[in-house]
Amino acid sequence: MTADRIVYTKPSITDLEVRYATDAAANGWGARCYDYIHQFEAAFHQHLGTRHALATSSCTGALHMGLAAMGIGPGDEIILADTNWIASAAPIVHLGATPVFVDILPDSWCLDPGKVEAAITIRTKAIIAVHLYGNLCEMDDLLAIGERHGIPVIEDAAEAIGSEYRGQRAGSMGLFGTFSFHGTKTMTTGEGGMLVTQDEELYERVLTLSNHGRARSQSKQFWPDMVGFKYKMSNIQAAIGCAQLERIEMLTSRKRAILASYRERLADLPGLALNPEPAGTVNGAWMPTVVFPEETNVTKSALLKAFGEADIDARVFFSPLSALSMFTDKPDNRISWSIHERAINLPSFHDISDADMDRVCRVVRSFM
């Protein structure tokens, strides 16, 4: 890596994160071993506007436990978009259920509600709405479909902290929502995640599952009531999370400013699409992304080569999950199967400079 290489992501860590983490490492033991965890959970559910939040070791773990708490198992089908990272699908497979991949909308790159409804069968047990790159799913439509068929909608909001849909924060609208604090995300704890919900019963079940199946009401020590999970966050990670959450407005507004800045720089290129922000929504802009028009005949490998030569980290747009060897090809998901060939995520770390963005935009322009 050279000195002027532009990385695509890097967290923003200040003295505050270092101070809290140091305090947790020095003092957060014994009677205080959960202090930052409880503080982080309380601050997070207040931020989201949900009743509950449970800190986890990852978003994947949060999804796994949430789906397990719903009783998802063999024979069940879960609908999600074909364009996704495998983390949203892996917990379904681990529980013995089947992910059903449906196509996305061309503008939001998220679930097409019409295709969701068409994919519902007697075995469908949940719809996972993943807010891709900060773009929002059509939540009103998805929730109405869920209501009509008696199927819960879950939100994987790992990429959508800072995104809002008609005044509600992403992650707060479904039966439960999940977040990731992996080092590439807008706010980080290194590795980490969160499950949020308004649902009292679901929360109690997840809480029990997360503690190796030991119910809060169980008075006997080391006496699990069921086989559970161990997907906990450490107090030191939670300390970093507390600091990041205090700075969340700054972290997300910077992401939004970077997306706006790319949009302005590339505004004169006809047909080039960036992350949309329809009326009534706020895009948290985790990952500014450009989709080239079909006429340009851009390919993934040509994009990778050009960005590589310009010493810029290029991050490819997610390939369809159905194209992976462990699933069945679904080329009829035409948008998912075509868009990834002509799209790329742009660098958007907190401290990226105007000059860096100019350099990135020169490469984007070279394809138009």
Ligand X SMILES: *Cc1c(COP(=O)(O)O)cnc(C)c1O
Token pair for residue 67?
Answer: 């789906």
Do residues 153 and 177 touch, judged by C-beta distance below 8 A? Answer: no
What does each C-alpha distance from 293 to 128, 139, 286, 316 come to in angstroms?
Answer: 28, 27, 22, 16
Is residue 348 at the binding interface for ligand X, with CB under 6 A as the rule?
no
**Smallest distance from the beta carbon of 299 to ligand X, in angstroms?**
24
Is residue 82 at the binding interface for ligand X, with CB under 6 A as the rule?
no
130, 238, 314, 335: residue in contact with ligand X (rule CB under 6 A): 130
DSSP 332: T
Q: Is 130 helix (H, G, I), strand (E, B) or coil?
A: strand
Is residue 313 at the binding interface for ligand X, with CB under 6 A as the rule?
no
6, 24, 59, 360: residue in contact with ligand X (rule CB under 6 A): 59
24, 28, 53, 58: residue in contact with ligand X (rule CB under 6 A): 58
Is residue 67 at the binding interface for ligand X, with CB under 6 A as the rule?
no
Instruction: Sketch the per residue contact string, 170 through 189, with ligand X: x for CB under 6 A, - otherwise.
Output: ----------x-x-------
**Which C-beta is closer to ligand X: that of 83 or that of 124?**
83
Q: What does 163-214 look like in DSSP terms, one character per residue?
A: -EETTEETTSSSSEEEEE-BTTSSS--BS-EEEEES-HHHHHHHHHHHTTT-
Strand partners, 345: 289, 315
9, 50, 88, 208: residue in contact with ligand X (rule CB under 6 A): 88
Which helix (H) or strand (E) segment holds residue 120: the answer is: none
- The Cα 67–Cα 83 span in angstroms is 20
87, 145, 153, 285: residue in contact with ligand X (rule CB under 6 A): 87
Is residue 91 at the binding interface for ligand X, with CB under 6 A as the rule?
no
Do residues 291 and 339 touch, judged by C-beta distance below 8 A? Answer: yes
Which range binds ligand X by CB under 6 A, 30-38, 80-88, 147-155, 327-335? 80-88
**Smallest distance from the beta carbon of 27 to ligand X, in angstroms?**
27
Is residue 161 at the binding interface for ligand X, with CB under 6 A as the rule?
no
Say how many C-beta atoms besides its own lie within 10 A of residue 338's C-beta. 15
Interface contacts to ligand X, rule CB under 6 A: 58-60, 85, 87-88, 130, 156, 158-159, 180, 182, 193
